């Protein structure tokens, strides 16, 4: 049996990118160190800040919330009911259970109750890709809730795999504007809090292991809208590279940040923020109604559209196997 690099006791995990094995205690310690390093290196927040963690019920966001509390930070949760069929219902259940078991504060927004829309319906009626409608909705609600309750920082559970996959996609398309803004920290703007990604030095597999070792129940299924999408394809490609060349993913993304940091910081510092005349959220352009308000205005009167209607054949098969075949799902 392999031994822990730090103490020589039996190991519970091998981490090829560190070329080492670890016991539970020293693996958790390594995760805490990587978290701290990201927080300090990018000056994300300190013990005085009030942090709002966007939690989805998945391993990354629950692990992040757990780690921040464990490290003594003041962190509350925000769960958004996106209306993505049974997936959303199940993710709400595990998120609430996590908060209740630990006596933590969880804010909740149900998109349909609060704004009369859900992600599948908004995507279908507006012709937007589901993740695009979802992304702009989440960004809007993160800002709105953080500013309503006066949080200093909004933290999301994006990990190294996520960020490397986004970087890979942006690089394949040479999307310079996105590359210039792919930062683990977006500074606060006009009363809207800072946004941070404290897990950028930790992988998806490490976060799953964190949850298992800490006894955290999380929703294992991916969001059905993600099945077969480009982003997952980029992750698969990077995993294949990582397999033969451990550490490639980290050096690709963290190397990018190291070299591009001055360019990125300058780009995000000068992003314009003009309030939307309808909801007050920051938008890029003066006098224009923001994308979220336009989405609500154009789709809130529509009949709900089931998730299955938005899925391609392959995704529908996976979805049916996970959640059943009823047409109203
Ligand atoms: S929840 Fe939303 Fe993700 Fe589902 S619809 Fe896409 S963006 S995949 S993180
Ligand atoms: Zn050990
Ligand atoms: Zn608006």
**C-beta of 136 in contact with ligand 1 (< 6 A):** no
For residue 83 the two structure tokens come to: 């209306």
Residue 18 lies in a domain: no
Residue 7 lies in a domain: no
What is the residue-level pLDDT of the chain in tens, covering all 329 positions? 699 999 999 999 999 999 999 999 999 999 999 999 999 999 999 999 999 999 999 999 999 999 999 999 999 999 999 999 999 999 999 999 999 999 999 999 999 999 999 999 999 999 999 999 999 999 999 999 999 999 999 999 999 999 999 999 999 999 998 998 899 999 887 767 899 999 999 999 999 999 999 999 999 998 999 887 899 999 999 999 999 999 999 999 999 999 999 988 888 887 777 888 998 887 767 778 999 999 999 998 888 888 888 888 888 888 888 888 765 66
* Residue closest to 104 by CA, chosen among 154, 53, 167, 34: 53
**C-beta of 223 in contact with ligand 1 (< 6 A):** yes
CATH label of the domain that carries residue 87: 3.40.50.620
Residue 51 lies in a domain: yes
**Could you tell me the residue range of the domain that residue 90 belongs to?**
39-218+226-323
Residue 54 lies in a domain: yes
Nearest residue (by CA) to ligand 1, atom 1, is 223
pLDDT at 78: 98
Supply φ then ψ for residue 74, to 5 degrees: -90, 95
Residue 319 lies in a domain: yes
Residue 20 lies in a domain: no
Residues 23/15, Cβ–Cβ less than 8 Å: no
Output the CA angle 146-37-238, nearest 5 degrees. Answer: 90
**C-beta of 130 in contact with ligand 1 (< 6 A):** yes
Nearest residue (by CA) to ligand 1, atom 7, is 131
Nearest residue (by CA) to ligand 1, atom 5, is 131
pLDDT at 54: 98
Beta bridge partners of 50: 74
SS3 sequence, the chain?
CCECCCCCCECCEEEHHHCEEECHHHHHHHHHHHHHHHHHHCCCCCCCCEEEEECCCCHHHHHHHHHHHHCCCEEEEEEEECCCHHHHHHHHHHHHHHHHHHCCCEEEEEHHHHHCCCHHHHHHHHCCCHHHHHHHHHHHHHHHHHHHCCCCEEECCCCHHHHHHHHHHHHHCCCHHHHHCCCCEECCECCECEEECCCCCCCHHHHHHHHHHHCCCCCCCCCHHHCCCHHHHHHHHHHHHHHHCCCHHHHHHHHHHHHHHHHHHHHHHCCCCEECCCCCCEECCCCCCCHHHHHHHHHCCCCCCCHHHHCCHHHHHHHHHHHCCCCCC
Number of domains the chain contains: 1
For residue 76 the two structure tokens come to: 């509350």
Residue 8 lies in a domain: no
Q: Rounded distance, CA 256 to CA 246, Å?
A: 17
Q: Rounded distance, CA 70 to CA 102, Å?
A: 11
User: Which atom of ligand 1 has the smallest separation from the CA of 226?
Assistant: 8
Q: 0.85 exceeded by the pTM?
A: yes
Residue 24 lies in a domain: no
pLDDT at 328: 64
């Amino acid at each position: 049996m392999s031994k822990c690099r730090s103490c020589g006791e039996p190991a519970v995990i091998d981490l090829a990118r560190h070329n080492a094995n670890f016991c539970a205690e020293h693996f958790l310690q390594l995760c805490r160190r990587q978290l701290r390093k990201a927080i300090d290196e990018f000056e994300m927040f300190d013990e005085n800040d009030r942090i709002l963690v966007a939690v989805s019920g998945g391993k990354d966001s629950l692990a992040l919330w757990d780690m921040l509390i464990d490290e003594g930070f003041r962190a509350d949760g925000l769960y958004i009911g996106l209306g993505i069929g049974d997936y959303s219902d199940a993710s709400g259940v595990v998120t609430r259970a996590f908060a209740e078991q630990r006596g933590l504060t969880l804010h909740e927004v149900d998109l349909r109750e609060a704004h009369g829309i859900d992600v599948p319906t908004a995507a279908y009626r507006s012709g937007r890709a589901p993740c695009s409608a979802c992304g702009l909705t989440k960004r809007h609600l993160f800002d709105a809730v953080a500013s309503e309750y006066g949080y200093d920082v909004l933290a999301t559970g994006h990990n190294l795999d996520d960020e490397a996959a986004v970087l890979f996609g942006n690089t394949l398309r040479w999307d310079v504007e996105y590359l210039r803004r792919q930062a683990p920290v977006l500074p606060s703007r006009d009363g809207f809090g800072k946004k941070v990604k404290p897990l950028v030095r930790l992988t998806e597999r490490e976060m799953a292991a964190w949850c298992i070792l800490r006894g955290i129940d999380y929703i294992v299924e991916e969001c059905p809208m993600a099945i077969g999408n480009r982003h997952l394809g980029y992750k698969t490609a990077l995993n294949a590279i990582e397999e033969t060349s451990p550490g490639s993913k980290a050096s690709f993304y963290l190397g990018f940040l190291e070299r591009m940091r001055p360019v990125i910081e300058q780009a995000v510092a000068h992003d314009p923020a003009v309030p939307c005349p309808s909801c007050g959220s920051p938008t890029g352009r003066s006098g224009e109604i923001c994308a979220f308000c336009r989405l609500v205005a154009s789709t809130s009167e529509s009949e709900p559209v089931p998730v299955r209607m938005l899925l391609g054949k392959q995704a529908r098969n996976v979805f049916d196997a996970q959640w059943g075949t009823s047409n109203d799902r």
